[in-house]
Structure 1
């Protein structure tokens, strides 16, 4: 059970994903003087603002204001091909809150649709809510419910910063400026993307490797724990990013396939579809009441349960 909880909070995610994963021209010299210099400076600044407005990374950074955020809706399919061809579907919905340098808090509800509701994993079918703030996450519901002490509703887990990526979530975190920049640098095609969140979009598409994502994304580094090696290093992640007329991301679709045959004789394909709406919305994520919070050591978990849950994907997809 402890291992199951760790997997779902991203602490051992690596085991599931990576087994053994127009510039201004020069001013004319004629008529140069204080007035001309001021005009030239003004024109340069105006051109810089225009370029910045056309840059998705700059547009994202302008959203980084205290108690402002964006709503996230995400659907993920994990498709197992092998011993047991099955599909897990997850859905996350909630709010990401920004500070001056990026995401600082989140309040997200996650629901799973499993190919089976038998055994210990049946608790996953119950939606869970996770609040992350100031480097601490609090989760209520899901597999935690039956193990919580009397009177406690939230399980506390401590980590570094807010982690937006796990094997069951979007691997391309476009709320990270470095990740957005690195991914768009691999754009192979652009075309009209339809209307999302009330704005016309252009969809950029391409492929980026897991190593390149690891280099660019703090969330991916936290998820994997160490740099991917072997075949996992060059694992291709195919993506589409829908960018609105205001240069803000409205939708991200990604997919990749990872072999886990050393674990459970199968291959897992992850397909993630994330939508962002309401950029700039007000947000004030707060931790739950202290008297309703419990830590891992307080959970009522038997040794046999921990042994059975060492690898939940083996139970779902193994032979």
Structure 2
């Protein structure tokens, strides 16, 4: 097909060339965009809402806010606060590498006198992790799997992935929900991307019995909406003072 350039005359009789229409920019690669942001000492913030859906009835189970600190490979540290509908004291979780420090929430009454934090090698998402977002787009391996299995349309990526598949690629998933009932549970996901290819929102949903196989969750769906902001912001997450930490809690 021939391309045409429209020639017009200016008021003074000079020839003017009309500019050609700008070509649409090629879609950015989300995985490449993420890796470019993985700089030690920098990170991203998120806010999150978890809702239990039963037909037309919707019940908010918890809300979370947090920050991820990066390493070159993904998440190096995290600081997350969760407000559960049942707890009066918010739960806070600080994770450095593979060590987590838990405070408030269900831990408030379990710690020895004078201690504020419980140190453990698991539960990266704390107790709230069992209700939290199962998809972490800050992990390159996880994001790559979502891109591979999903379908891209403009600035959105949609698809499905199972708990078992997530467990293979996502350290976040395995540490947040170490105990679950059905590994074949399918997670429907929708990722919203910025013009730079960075994830700005993750919406996921799955059968609630995938994690909690009890009569109270039968036929209900867990939906989680997470928004990501301040990509690349400087972040410094530190462990609590040793004097405030315990390695034991009451049963």
TM-score, with normalisation over the residues of structure 1?
0.62
In 2, Cα distance between the equivalents of 1:62 and 1:148?
A: 41
In 2, Cα distance between the equivalents of 1:166 and 1:143?
A: 13
Question: Partner of 1:44 in structure 2?
Answer: none
Q: Quick check: 170-179 or 251-260, which moved more?
A: 251-260
Q: Does 1:111 align with 2:79?
A: no
Name the one with the larger helix percent.
1
Question: Partner of 2:243 in structure 1?
Answer: 291
Question: Partner of 2:38 in structure 1?
Answer: 64
Q: Does 1:245 align with 2:217?
A: no
In 1, Cα distance between the equivalents of 2:169 and 2:97?
A: 22
Greater relative CO, 1 or 2 (CA 8 Å, sep 6+): 1
Question: Partner of 1:93 in structure 2?
Answer: 65
Number of aligned residue pairs: give it: 223
Question: Partner of 1:132 in structure 2?
Answer: 95
Question: Partner of 2:172 in structure 1?
Answer: 219
TM-score, with normalisation over the residues of structure 2?
0.77
Q: 1:278: Cα distance to partner? A: 0.3
Question: Partner of 1:204 in structure 2?
Answer: 157
**RMSD of aligned Cα (Å):** 3.0
Structure 2, unmatched stretches of 5+, are 1-24
Change over 3 Å in CA distance of 1:224–1:144 after alignment to 2: closer
In 2, Cα distance between the equivalents of 1:78 and 1:72?
A: 20
Q: Does 1:277 align with 2:213?
A: no
Name the one with the larger strand percent.
2
Check whether the contact 2:73–2:140 (CA below 8 A) recurs between aligned residues: no
Superposed, 1:162-241 pairs within 5 Å as: 166-188=129-151, 190-191=153-154, 202-223=155-176, 232-241=182-191
Question: Partner of 2:49 in structure 1?
Answer: 75
The 3-state SS of whatever aligns with 1:255 is: strand
Check whether the contact 1:78–1:168 (CA below 8 A) recurs between aligned residues: no
Q: Quick check: 66-75 or 215-224, which moved more?
A: 215-224
Structure 1, unmatched stretches of 5+, are 1-49, 115-123, 192-201, 307-319
Question: Partner of 2:21 in structure 1?
Answer: none
